[in-house]
Amino acid sequence: MPPTLLALDLSTAHGSIAVVRGDDVLFRSSFQSERSHNAQVFAPLREALAAAGNELTGIVIGNGPGSYTGVRIAIAAAQGIALSRDIWCVGWSSLTAPDLDAPASYPVIGDARRQSFYLARVESGRLLPDLEIVSAEAARERVGEGMNWFTFDAKPPLDLPALRSARPDAVHLAKIVQSLSADELATLIAQPLIPHYLAEAFITLPKRPAHSPTP
């Protein structure tokens, strides 16, 4: 019997949850949420677990790039389920799983905040490692080269008219991971489950008081 996979993507305002076994989609749900995935994800997640029953093999998380909070909620939920059921849990790029027909390879543009944009490329269900962070001017120039660019942002970056807007799809995520070889899956399982950071995390340290108290 093919593995039964639970897939979950909360990297955008459009949440997506699915349970997939081979070619069969046992459960599928989506919802729209700007900043409250934690309030909306658990009801469909309970339904997904009920659909999977006792045959759940593993969990796939869309790890972004995208909403840091959404991805962290997905990771926390998945790790709790995986621990309680003694199953594996892996992350896979949300950019590889558009909810519309896409060619095997395509470029992606997205807002990286602070007047910068990321440029990436997907090849056969895999995000290539050479993701770039560029200025608005460079992004406009690159996108204008005529390729069929995708974006997973709710609003097309820079108001570029030729972009194809997509949202991550949990069914697609599950099917990509279930197609991996045993060796590829084992390597993925061994990796830490973390969000896809576009830049190093910035940590604010507490300021040292101007005058230390007298002991």
For residue 181, what is the domain's CATH number?
Answer: 3.30.420.40
Of residues 15, 19, 39, the one with CA closest to residue 28: 19
Are 56 and 85 in contact by the 8 Å Cβ rule? The answer is yes
Q: Are 173 and 160 part of one and the same domain?
A: no
Residue 75 lies in a domain: yes
Query: Structurally, how many domains does the chain consist of?
Result: 2
Q: Are 42 and 131 part of one and the same domain?
A: no
Residue 17 lies in a domain: yes
Residue 215 lies in a domain: no
Domain residue limits at 79: 4-95+168-189
Residue 213 lies in a domain: no
Q: Are 120 and 35 part of one and the same domain?
A: no
pLDDT of res. 41: 87
pLDDT of res. 188: 96
What are the angstrom distances between the C-alpha of 211 and each of 42, 192, 205, 207, 208? 48, 42, 17, 11, 9
pLDDT of res. 215: 46
Q: What are the backbone dihedrals phi and psi of residue 79, each rounded to the nearest 5 degrees, phi first?
A: -65, -35
Given a cut of 50, the residues of the chain with pLDDT beneath it are 202-204, 208-215
pTM of the model: 0.88
Q: Are 53 and 153 part of one and the same domain?
A: no
Q: Are 82 and 16 part of one and the same domain?
A: yes
Q: Are 30 and 42 part of one and the same domain?
A: yes
pLDDT of res. 213: 45
Neighbours of 7 (CB within 10 A): 32
Q: Are 82 and 149 part of one and the same domain?
A: no
Q: Are 56 and 135 part of one and the same domain?
A: no
pLDDT of res. 211: 47
CA distance 50 to 19: 10
At 126, the amino acid letter reads R
pLDDT of res. 137: 95
